[in-house]
Amino acid sequence: MNMKLALIAGSNRTNASSTILLRYIASLLKARRIDVSFTDLYEQPLPFFTPDDWDFHPNVRQMISQVAEADGLILATPEYHGSVSGALKNALDYMSAEQVGGKPVLSVSAAGGPLGISSLTHLQAIVRNLHGVNGPEWISIGYGSNGFGPDGVPLDAGTRERVEGVVESFAKLAEVLAAGVAAVN
Ligand SMILES: Cc1cc2nc3c(=O)[nH]c(=O)nc-3n(C[C@H](O)[C@H](O)[C@H](O)COP(=O)(O)O)c2cc1C
């Protein structure tokens, strides 16, 4: 059975660079015969999470079941005031260790400045609290590296190389962990 990864794009706008980057990452994974689910929080908005209502909206149920079925996650966020977007944090508030625990997670950000590192450190802290396994690398694009061609491929050769390298090593990590989980169960 193919490995499955759940991708969540956390920008709430059209033509978001983090979402275009995540779609490019999805294309690299599909080329490796990895199954990918894609939640775009702009196209599939979620209501504000409230612990008073556990009868979830269909978009929430779909996202949670895709994450639960996945062997790992890739989360993309815009850098907003040095942190993750409210849209992505809201999505993650619906989740628990039940879906994320023990799974590898790659964090990705897009910033207005050259890089968005604060959002990545915050995202990794959230992942740790969901008992996910933060990958050793991350990806950030920003001023100078956030241009894409009409085919959705990064224009900058260095960015392409970096993204492809990190995705390759994350896919290997996810495969090793998925094989280990299968062997234990
Ligand atoms: C509310 C808001 C806060 C932002 N804060 C930051 C910031 O702290 N650092 C930064 O480099 N860019 C910041 N930006 C710029 C965004 O990170 C930039 O536009 C990025 O491309 C957004 O990602 P997206 O294209 O995936 O939506 C901010 C933009 C907005 C709208």
pLDDT at 1 exceeding the cut of 80: no
Residue 7 has pLDDT above 80, yes or no: yes
pLDDT tens for residues 168-184?
Answer: 999 999 999 998 888 88
Helix (H, G, I), strand (E, B) or coil at 177: helix
Identify the pLDDT of residue 184: 85
Q: Are 38 and 29 in contact (CB under 8 A)?
A: no
Residue 115 CA, closest ligand 1 atom number: 11
pLDDT of residue 72: 98
Long-range contact set of residues 175-183: C-beta below 8 Å, sequence gap at least 24:
175/3, 177/71, 177/72, 177/102, 177/103, 177/104, 177/133, 178/3, 178/71, 178/72, 181/71, 181/102
Q: Can you tell me which atom of ligand 1 is nearest the CA of 113?
A: 11
What CATH number has the domain bearing residue 82?
3.40.50.360
For residue 76, what are the β-bridge partners? Answer: 9, 108
Please state, in angstroms and rounded to a whole number, the distance separating the CA atoms of residues 11 and 164: 22
Among residues 116, 155, 157, the alpha carbon closest in space to that of 139 is found at 116
pLDDT by residue (tens digit) across 51-84? 999 999 999 999 999 999 999 999 999 999 999 9
Largest CA distance in the chain: 48
Q: What is the average pLDDT across 14-41?
A: 98
- Mean pLDDT, rounded, of the chain: 97
Task: Please name the residue ranges forming H helices in the chain.
Answer: 17-31, 58-69, 86-93, 97-100, 117-129, 157-184
Atom of ligand 1 nearest to the CA of 146: 21
Enclosing domain of residue 174:
4-184
**pLDDT of amino acid 171:** 97
**For residues 15 and 78, is the Cβ–Cβ distance under 8 A?**
no
Q: Which of 80, 118, 121, 140 to mutate to test the pocket of ligand 1 (most atoms within 8 A of CB)?
A: 80
Cβ–ligand 1 distance for 20 under 6 Å, the answer: no
**Does 10 sit in the ligand 1 pocket, CB within 6 Å?**
no
Three-state DSSP at 139 gives strand
Ligand 1 center to 172 CA (angstroms): 31
- Total domain count for the chain? 1
Percent share of the chain, pLDDT over 90 = 95
Please give the distance, rounded to the nearest whole angstrom, from the Cα atom of residue 178 to the centre of ligand 1.
Answer: 34
Question: Which of ligand 1's atoms lies nearest the C-alpha of 83?
Answer: 8
The pLDDT tens digits for 87-125 are 999 999 999 999 999 999 999 999 999 999 999 999 999
What per-residue confidence (pLDDT) applies to 185? 80
Cβ of residue 116 lying under 6 Å from some atom of ligand 1: yes
